[in-house]
């Protein structure tokens, strides 16, 4: 099994009461609450944690993209990937991902990724996402165009990386007279493509069709298992076997000396992530057209309201959204969940919500020394269907 | 009130649901974002004086959602085809909110088949510095409240439970609305350049307490459409056709009667 250190880079100095008063940490939470002196400290602290992950033997470090939110300070993740390109010496650098539909010229992303891939001499993992619904409020891009723009942008980027330029691209949403980016990617034919999603069937089936690595975002493990089974089934229909190397589970793990201590240390910070930084009204999360009409019908308002209800750290542990405990507990849960869901990579948010630097480092160290080595010997097995 | 039987009309392959009733000169009523398809008291009162045609726009209600539907301008061309196919002339064109925007886009393209134009709480223009509620970030309940000056009207609607069929239609209407007006939010940045082309008598009806498109939007249309007249209704929100039915119908009736034959 492979372990990546996934950082959300939250604005951890946020007064959480302000998030409650605003109703969300996204889009409408005034940036007068952002203090650049504290922000600068946090950026450096978080980048240090990424470099620490590299030294501890994590297989990769992960950044991602979100806009106008205290949830994460990474509107341009390539800046941070660039900052890490020379200081992270060994680990892969995964951007999971850039939100393709939000840009007006996808070549910007083809160029940015190619630069990082050159700088790291081929250690980039290229993530492509649509961005969550809030992004469409934040950027003004029409949510109804999200799918179509994603696919056009994806096609243009892959062609830009694999076909000699210049050539012309003419789609419905993108019209580019000269597709001819310099530089081209270091890895051939192009960097590995990973597709993070909240579990949309069309995305899972498309990722399987493209043979891209599918990453499941924070979800209960039973759901994760179902989505991964969906990927394997789609692969089978397409005539191939999808192994664990195609599937990555994005979670949070927190390891301490005892179960009781781990829960006590992690609890307020997990709850800050889940109940404050992730909080948003349905209208913000799912603008019209972001999902298909049929899936919007299936997601009844009642169900959504339920999913937006505050959850305790104990709820999150119980549902297998996160793993928290002693080294022994962490090992047991991870082995159990791996068997259930059949993933080959875990994208671990070792820092979450307001978790401070000392606890983050202690957590990373304990995971790297007491938990991960137990999963290095064997190749991960596919889930028992 | 007897609702007319819905009929269908297919214009260049796009099937739309059409409610039609009444006697007199033709009046084409273009509904707003929340949709048409239901014959309401204001339709009925207008039908005492006009031959009222109330289609559901392509993309709304029981009408088709055609592949070509990307912009409000597409709907303007659709309705020009519609008027031609129905062979309607000397039409009183009335549009509310998003329907008002469509009506304005029709009129800048051609007034050949129009006798008059009435824009009610019309979207379509941008006016700098006028605060507007963002209907896409509101809950259904908050949105309904902001429609009205008289909040008891909103309370009555909030209490209603939609049938599954109407809930589907409400969702479809919302999808299409977002598709057409998300960005720029509710306006065409080029429309203002061409409103001078409107050469039929034009009436503008606005609610004084409209929170979606406050009266300065009516004033801007008034400034840009030659000879237009603006009527601002006191104690009225975004939907004068619901909140001030009699006044709404009288204004349109009086205006149409005053338009030279």
Q: What is the mean pLDDT of residues A71-79?
A: 98
Q: What pLDDT does residue A384 have?
A: 54
Backbone angles phi, psi at A92, to 5 degrees: -70, 155
Q: For residue A305, is pLDDT > 60?
A: no
B122/A301: higher pLDDT: B122
For range B210-225, the mean pLDDT:
98
Reported as a pLDDT band with limits 50, 70 and 90, residue A266 is: very high
Nearest CA-CA partner of B124 in B96, B151, B146: B96
Q: In whole angstroms, what is the distance from residue B229 CA to residue B236 CA?
A: 18
Answer yes or no: is pLDDT of A301 > 60: no
- Whether the pLDDT of residue A309 is over 90: the answer is no
pLDDT reported for residue B2: 74
Is A304 in the B-facing interface, judged by CB distances under 8 Å?
no
Tokens matching residue A239: 């005539």
Chain center to CA of A174: 26
Q: At how many degrees (to 10) do helices A77-85 and A107-119 cross?
A: 20
- Using the predicted structure, report yes or no on whether residue A68 has a pLDDT greater than 90: yes
Interface test with A, best of B137, B146, B166, B177 (most A CBs within 10 A): B137
pLDDT tens sequence across B148-201? 999 999 998 888 888 999 999 999 999 999 999 999 999 999 999 999 999 999
Asked if the bond preceding B184 is cis, omega within 30° of 0, the reply is yes
Which ipTM was obtained for this model?
0.94
B68 touches chain A (CB under 8 A): no
pLDDT band at A302 (very low <50, low <70, confident <90, very high): low
Q: Are strands B202-207 and A213-216 parallel, antiparallel or unpaired?
A: unpaired
The answer regarding whether domain A2-375 maps to CATH 3.90.1150.10 reads no
Question: What is the per-residue pLDDT across A16-44, written as a single tens digit (0 to 9) for each?
Answer: 999 999 999 999 999 999 999 999 999 99
Q: What is the pLDDT of residue B159?
A: 83
CB atoms within 10 A of CB A69: 25
* Contacts of the segment B39-42: beta carbons below 8 A, 24+ positions apart: B39/B1, B39/B3, B39/B4, B40/B241, B40/B242, B41/B1, B41/B245, B42/B241, B42/B242, B42/B245, B42/B248, B42/B249
pLDDT reported for residue B44: 97
- Position A379 scores a pLDDT of 58
Q: Is the pLDDT of residue A300 over 80?
A: no
Residue B226: exposed, middle, or buried by beta-carbon count in 10 A (0-12, 13-18, 19+)? Answer: exposed
Average pLDDT on B31-38 reads 96
Nearest CB neighbour to A297, from listed B168, B177, B185: B168
Residue A317 tokens read as: 């542990």
- What average pLDDT does range B47-61 have in this prediction? 98
Cα atoms found within 13 Å of the Cα of residue A7, Cβ hemisphere only: 32
In three-state secondary structure terms, A235 is helix
d(C-alpha B224, C-alpha A205), whole Å:
52
* Structural domains of chain B, ranges and CATH numbers in brackets: 7-258 (3.40.50.1820)
Query: What confidence score (pLDDT) does residue A316 get?
Result: 97
* pTM for the structure as a whole: 0.95
Residues of A in contact with B185 (CB under 8 A): 140
Helices and strands (H and E) in chain A: how many:
15, 11
Closest CA to B175 of B184, B167, B163: B167
Please tell me if residue B182 touches chain A, with a CB cutoff of 8 Å.
yes
A129: burial class by Cβ within 10 Å (0-12, 13-18, 19+)? buried
For chain A, domain boundaries = 2-375
pLDDT confidence of residue A297: 80
What is the mean pLDDT of the segment spanning A329-347? 98
pLDDT tens track for A192-250? 999 999 988 889 999 999 999 999 998 999 999 999 999 999 999 999 999 999 999 99
Per the CB < 8 Å rule, is A296 touching B185?
Answer: no
- pLDDT value for A308: 62
B183 neighbourhood in chain A, CB within 8 Å: 140-142
Predicted local distance difference test score (pLDDT) of residue A310: 78
Q: B74 is written with which tokens?
A: 């597409």
Dihedral angle at the C-alpha atoms of B206, B211, B217, B218, nearest 10 degrees?
A: 10
Task: Give the CB-side neighbour count of residue B242, counting CA atoms within 13 A.
Answer: 24
Q: How far apart are the C-alpha atoms of A91 and A97, rounded to whole Å? A: 17
Q: Is the pLDDT of residue B120 over 70?
A: yes
CB under 8 Å to A64, separation ≥6 — which residues? A6, A8, A72, A74, A77, A95, A96, A97, A127, A129, A196
Task: Give the pLDDT score at B140.
Answer: 86
Which pLDDT does position A339 carry in this prediction?
Answer: 97
What residues in B contact A300, CB-CB < 8 Å? none
The overall average pLDDT reported for chain A is 95
Check A293 against B175: CB less than 8 A apart.
yes
Query: Is B10 in CB contact (< 8 Å) with chain A?
Result: no
The shortest CB-CB distance from B182 to any of A28, A143, A296 is to A143
Residue A229 class from Cβ within 10 Å (0-12 exposed, 13-18 middle, 19+ buried)? middle
The reported pLDDT for the residue numbered A303 is 55
Instruction: Tell me what percent of the residues of chain A surpass a pLDDT of 70.
Output: 95
């Amino acid at each position: 099994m492979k372990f990546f250190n996934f950082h959300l880079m939250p604005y951890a100095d946020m007064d959480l009461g302000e998030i409650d008063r605003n109703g969300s940490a996204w889009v409408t939470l005034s940036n007068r609450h952002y203090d650049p002196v504290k922000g600068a400290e946090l950026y450096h602290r978080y980048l240090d944690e990424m470099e620490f992950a590299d030294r501890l033997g994590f297989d990769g470090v992960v950044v991602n993209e979100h806009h106008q939110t205290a949830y994460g300070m990474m509107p341009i993740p390539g800046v941070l990937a660039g900052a890490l390109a020379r200081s992270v010496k060994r680990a892969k650098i995964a951007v999971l991902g850039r939100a393709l539909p939000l840009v007006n010229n996808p070549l910007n992303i083809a160029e940015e990724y190619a630069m990082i891939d050159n700088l790291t001499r081929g250690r980039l993992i290229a993530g492509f996402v649509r961005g969550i619904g809030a992004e469409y409020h934040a950027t003004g891009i029409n949510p109804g165009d999200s799918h179509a723009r994603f696919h056009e942008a994806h096609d243009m980027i892959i062609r830009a990386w694999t076909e000699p330029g210049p050539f012309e691209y003419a789609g419905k949403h993108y019209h580019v007279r000269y597709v001819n980016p310099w530089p081209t990617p270091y890895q051939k034919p192009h960097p590995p493509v990973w597709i993070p999603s909240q579990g949309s069937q069309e995305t899972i089936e498309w990722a399987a069709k493209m043979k891209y690595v599918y990453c499941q975002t924070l979800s209960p493990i039973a759901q994760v298992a179902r989505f991964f089974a969906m990927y394997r089934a789609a692969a089978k229909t397409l005539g191939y076997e999808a192994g664990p190397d195609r599937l990555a589970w994005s979670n949070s793990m927190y390891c301490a000396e005892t179960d009781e201590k781990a829960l006590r240390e992690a609890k307020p910070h997990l709850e800050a992530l889940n109940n404050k930084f992730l909080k948003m009204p349905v209208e913000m999360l799912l603008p019209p057209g972001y999902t298909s009409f049929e899936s919007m019908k299936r997601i009844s308002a009642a169900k959504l309201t339920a999913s937006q209800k505050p959850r305790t750290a104990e709820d999150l542990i119980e549902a297998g959204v996160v793993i928290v405990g002693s080294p022994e507990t962490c090992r047991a849960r991870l082995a159990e969940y791996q068997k259930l869901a059949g993933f080959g990579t875990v994208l671990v948010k070792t820092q979450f919500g307001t978790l401070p630097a000392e606890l983050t480092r202690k957590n990373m160290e304990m995971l790297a020394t007491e938990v991960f080595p137990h999963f290095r010997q064997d190749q991960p097995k596919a889930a028992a269907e | 009130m007897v609702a007319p039987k819905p009929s269908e009309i297919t214009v260049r392959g796009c099937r739309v649901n059409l409610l039609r009733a009444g006697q007199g000169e033709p009046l084409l009523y273009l509904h707003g974002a929340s949709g048409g398809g239901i014959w309401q008291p204001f339709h009925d009162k207008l039908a005492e004086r006009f031959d009222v045609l109330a289609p559901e726009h392509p993309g709304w209600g029981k009408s088709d959602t055609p592949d070509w539907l990307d912009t409000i301008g597409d709907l303007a061309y659709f309705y020009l085809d519609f008027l031609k196919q129905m062979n309607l002339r000397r039409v009183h064109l009335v549009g509310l909110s998003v329907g008002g925007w469509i009506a304005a886009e029709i009129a800048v393209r051609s007034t050949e088949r129009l006798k008059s134009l009435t824009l009610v709480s019309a979207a379509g223009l941008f006016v700098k510095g006028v605060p507007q509620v963002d209907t896409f970030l509101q809950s259904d309940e908050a949105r309904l409240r902001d429609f009205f000056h008289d909040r008891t009207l909103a309370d009555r609607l909030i209490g209603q439970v939609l049938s599954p069929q109407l809930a589907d239609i409400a969702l479809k209407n919302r999808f299409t609305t977002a598709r057409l007006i998300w960005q720029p939010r509710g306006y065409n940045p080029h429309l203002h350049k061409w409103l001078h082309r409107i050469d039929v008598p034009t009436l503008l009806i606005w609610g004084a307490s409209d929170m979606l498109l406050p009266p300065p939007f009516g004033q801007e249309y008034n400034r840009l459409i030659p000879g237009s007249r603006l009527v601002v209704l006191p104690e009225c929100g975004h939907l004068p056709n619901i909140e001030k039915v009699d006044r709404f119908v009288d204004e349109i009736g009086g205006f149409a009667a005053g338009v030279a034959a």
